[in-house]
Structure 1
Amino acid sequence: FSGWEFLERLPEAVDENAVVILISQSGKTKEIVEALEWSKKKGATTFGLTQKQESVINEKADIGYGWEARGVTMGKLMSMYYLYGSIFREKGYEIGEKMLKEADKLPKLLPKMIPQAKETARKQGLELKDYDKIFVLGGGINWGLTYQFALCTLMEMCWVHGISVNYSEFRHGALELFTEGTAAIYLRSRSAERKLEDSILEFSQGNGVKTIVYDSQGLDVDNLVTPFTLFTELEWLSYYLSLARNRRMGSWRFYDKVKF
């Protein structure tokens, strides 16, 4: 759930047998705090996950954890992998142990990707700088990253109209818009969905779409960790795209400046 969606629905499943995990970078997001307070009234166990250990949410939650790192997405994602991996392992699911083992490999893997990611992104940022609308395609385990990059990075940070499209829904709408003059970023998985991804890529390139493909630099990585490897590539793209568009990331016209 998003915070507001949770408050609108007030799920009946939230009771003394439920655990509610509440995630907020700032640790004080209004709707998340309200969701936490309502969940506690229903008897649920609450777990706060914020950037800093000392936060309103962590103080109110039964259990609070701050990932204590500058990287918002990477810190949050890594924390969630270890949290859910541990839960699944304790419940006896094999996927839990696999999540933890794959996550343990990332501190050595990701830094090695940075030099090539920077070099590639510098070129692609220039190629995309004149596009005011960019589609971002992804699916499966990478859908959350797809949605976040289109909304929070392209729209909020780069002031580009980012449109997230799930590969499985490409034929509903996006198919009609992928013509010459269109730009799209493709996030590749390591799953059975690659056959569908190949088909969409072939169609896009045949129609003259500007295609930017991210595929974890071709590394032999497990599909479970592609959100991390793809994010490493996308982070540098957003940086160089913002430079090419003369847009200073981290400065806004309205965000945190107007009441909303």
Structure 2
Amino acid sequence: MSTEVIMNLKEQVKEALTVIEKRTVKNVFFVSCGGSFALMYMSKYVVDREAKIIDAHIYSSNEFLHRNHSKLGNDSIVILCSHSGKTPETVEAAKLAQAKGALTISLTNIIESPLAETAEIALKYEFGKEAGFTSSHSILYQITFAILKAVENNDKFEAIIKSLEQLQSVYDKALKYSEPKAKLFAELHKDEKVIYSMASGSNYGAAYSFAICSLMEQQWIHSNAIHAGEYFHGPFEILDESVPFVILLGLDETRPLEERALAFTKQYGRKITVLDAKEYDLAGINEEVKGYITPLVLNHVVRYYAEKLSIERNHPLHTRRYMGIVKY
């Protein structure tokens, strides 16, 4: 990634910060669909942990429209993400937010798009294997911590920026470490009809994205993202030695939930794949924000697993039956 692109992004975030500083902010809404919605879980967790005043809400775009939250108003910031910037529900969500006086911030890969043109602040992210610092996940964190800094004088903004600058290096090392494991996973799971994912806290978005995007959308494999805290309240009854699980272990405060779920699954299951953030080289990541950075890394790794699976199954990730093909 060129220095010019990185500096331009930093300038975008800086300009956004000046706008945010002029407003009274009581709540933040994270609004998107699909994979873009999944990444919002991470920032929702950040606000829940870090904010003393601001409330955080997360909604799929269409529900945001129909629910029409009573607290949405002049004191709100609504952050919306769409890769193409054309997702109809998300564009309409931005219009509703603006009509109610909220500050709208969009994240898109295409700046000349309906969502970017609708939002008051439009941030462009890069997409690809070398887009660590300029990726959608990184930019969402940057703007989330910028809000916390502007509104609550939160002191972690610099730590998160410096850590995100090391993200690509961490990604590269994590994928190199994961290559043989991902290949084995693909070989062992190529004929599976169902694969469950599980995580909690800031990592749940990565598990959710893996289930609905990587497996269901892109591989047509039945799946469900199980919250580790809910596992023992129904879902664990599906477990036996024939059922595959992919379990993510992060470094945030909810790790004990994931460890408990893993321990039980090991007791009665056999097809268990564990992605543990403790195994990755996180050099350069500030200790106080490691719990926030690791879900980005886990998300990157689990997508790599999906790539290897698609190759083994001879089912390219871009294959679709309905999305963008038929009317819905």
Following superposition, the deviation at residue 192 of structure 1 comes to 4.1
Deviation at 1:248, TM superposition (A): 1.5
1:161 alignment partner in structure 2? 222
> For structure 1, which segment, 77-86 or 113-122, has the greater mean C-alpha deviation from structure 2 after superposition?
113-122
* Separation in 2, partners of 1:189, 1:114: 16
Cα distance, 1:180 vs structure 2: 1.2
Determine the C-alpha separation between the residues in 2 that align with 1:43 and 1:193.
35
Match of 1:46 in 2: 104
Q: Distance in 2 between matches of 1:49 and 1:83?
A: 10
Identity score, percent: 30
How is 1:179-198 mapped onto 2 (pairs within 5 angstroms)?
A: 179-198=240-259
Say if 2:170 is the partner of 1:109.
yes
Once the two structures are superposed, what CA deviation does each residue of 1:20-54 show, in whole Å capped at 9, x if it has no partner?
Answer: 22211110111111111222222222212111121
Give the match's secondary structure for 1:25.
coil
C-alpha spacing 1:159/1:93, structure 2 compared with 1 (3 Å): same
Q: Normalization by structure 2: what TM-score? A: 0.74
Letter in 2 for 1:189: G
Q: Secondary structure of the equivalent of 1:94? A: coil
Structure 1 letter corresponding to 2:146: S
The separation in 2 between residues aligned to 1:107 and 1:249, in whole angstroms, is 22
The answer to whether the 8 A contact 1:135-1:165 is kept is: yes
Deviates more, 1:53-62 or 1:14-23: 14-23
Is 1:82 the counterpart of 2:159? The answer is no
| Unmatched 5+ stretches in structure 2 | 1-58, 283-289
Give the aligned partner of residue 137 of structure 1.
Answer: 198
Q: Is the 8 A contact 2:200 2:258 kept in 1?
A: no
Distance in 2 of aligned mates of 1:51 and 1:231: 19
Following the alignment from structure 1 to structure 2, what is the Cα–Cα distance between the partners of residues 191 and 65?
28
Structure 2 residue aligned with 1:152: 213
Contact 1:3–1:35 at 8 Å: present in 2 too? yes
Q: Which residue of 2 aligns with 1:232?
A: 300
Letter in 2 for 1:39: A
Give me the whole-angstrom Cα distance separating, in 2, the residues matched to 1:220 and 1:247. 31
CA distance in 2 between partners of 1:112 and 1:133 (Å): 29
CA contact (8 A) 2:202 2:252 kept: no
Cα distance change on mapping 1:50 and 1:181 into 2, 3 Å: same
Q: 2: CA distance between counterparts of 1:20 and 1:86? A: 14
Query: Structure 1: which 5+ residue stretches go unaligned?
Result: none
SS of residue matched to 2:192: coil
In structure 2, C-alpha distance between the alignment counterparts of 1:195 and 1:20, rounded to whole Å: 32
Q: Which amino acid aligns with 2:238?
A: L
Asked if the contact 2:247–2:272 (Cα under 8 Å) also holds between the matched residues in 1, the reply is: yes
RMSD: 2.0
Q: Deviations over 1:195-229 (max 9, x none)?
A: 33333222212213300000136136411111121
Q: Mean alpha-carbon deviation: is it higher for 116-125 or for 153-162? A: 116-125
User: Using the alignment, how far apart are the partners of 1:18 and 1:104 within structure 2?
Assistant: 29
- Correspondences of 1:25-44 after superposition (within 5 Å): 25-44=83-102
| Matches of 1:95 and 1:206, distance apart in 2 | 40
The answer (yes or no) to whether the contact 2:199–2:207 under 8 Å persists in 1 is yes
CA contact (8 A) 1:185 1:214 kept: yes
Please give the TM-score of this superposition, normalised by the length of structure 1. Answer: 0.92
Q: Matches of residues 89-100 of structure 1 in structure 2 within 5 Å?
A: 89-90=149-150, 91-100=152-161
Task: State the match for 1:19 in structure 2.
Answer: 77
